[in-house]
Amino acid sequence: MDMQVYEGRLKVFLLKDISINSVQEKISALIDKALVQNERMAAFHQKISYKNYCFSGFCPVESERVYRQDKIYTIQIRTIDENLMNYFKEHLINAYTEEMKSLTMAVRRIKKIPISRIYTLTPVIQKFDGGYWKEIVTLDEFERRLKENLIKKYNNFTGEKCDEDFDLYTHLQFDNKGPISCPYKGITLLGDKITLQLAQNPMAQELAYMALGCGLGENNARGNGFCGYRYL
């Protein structure tokens, strides 16, 4: 199947100041508000499954760790599901919460040409029983889970079963010194920012392209694992 990644650039107007630590939580509240407007989408939102979308923080980035009331920011929302993007296009532009109000959204397709690297702009989360992965499992296990998670998303979306015998990347680099905290449903999850130098085989390229649309790791519908990319 010819997978496509769609990107919506949503402009929002802030009704209150938002601190940098709660950005992902506040943006997901806005997206959730749009999803619950429709019975079918509300069921999709409630269901425990791969959501196949992810989103960035606010742009431009504020240096003082607070996003300001009465300013306009852009959020990138990406998905591999064209119907979902069409839904967002129609329903997100009228959504608002106590903190922000949507204005406009422009949608484009991300070009599918060879990618040299992807890097997370929001922390990648992998949940292991007992807390932060570095205290519990090896790097090998972390890497295995990262690849396995993408394979599962791919199989789930395409209905195919991809051959798992391939290298996804040639090098993985951690871009943070210590874990990054992400508030989530009253608890704090710990994540990392990573860069993957991608392998140039067809499956690695397909999964990396898909990751642009649905994020790396877990909690993508809460804004984790959103990726930037560089073409070859």
- Take residue 77 and report the two structure tokens written for it: 């929302």
Overall number of domains in the chain:
2
**Is residue 101 domain-shared with residue 185, that is, in the same domain?**
no
Mean pLDDT of the chain: 95
Nearest to 216 by CA among 78, 89, 108: 78
Q: Give the per-residue pLDDT at 39.
A: 80
User: Of 110, 131, 152, at which residue does a domain stop?
Assistant: 110
User: Of 54, 82, 110, at which residue does a domain stop?
Assistant: 110
User: Of 90, 110, 130, at which residue does a domain stop?
Assistant: 110
Write the pLDDT tens digit of every residue in 91-117: 999 899 999 999 999 999 999 999 999
More confident residue, 112 or 2: 112
Predicted confidence band of residue 144 (pLDDT cuts 50, 70, 90): very high
Write the pLDDT tens digit of every residue in 174-231: 999 999 999 887 888 999 999 999 999 999 999 999 999 999 999 999 999 999 999 9
**Is residue 195 domain-shared with residue 129, that is, in the same domain?**
yes
Query: 129-168 in b/e burial notation, b at 16+ Cβ within 10 A?
Result: eeebbeeebeeeebeebbbebbbebbeebeeeeeeeeeeb
More confident residue, 188 or 55: 55
- Take residue 211 and report the two structure tokens written for it: 């990751």
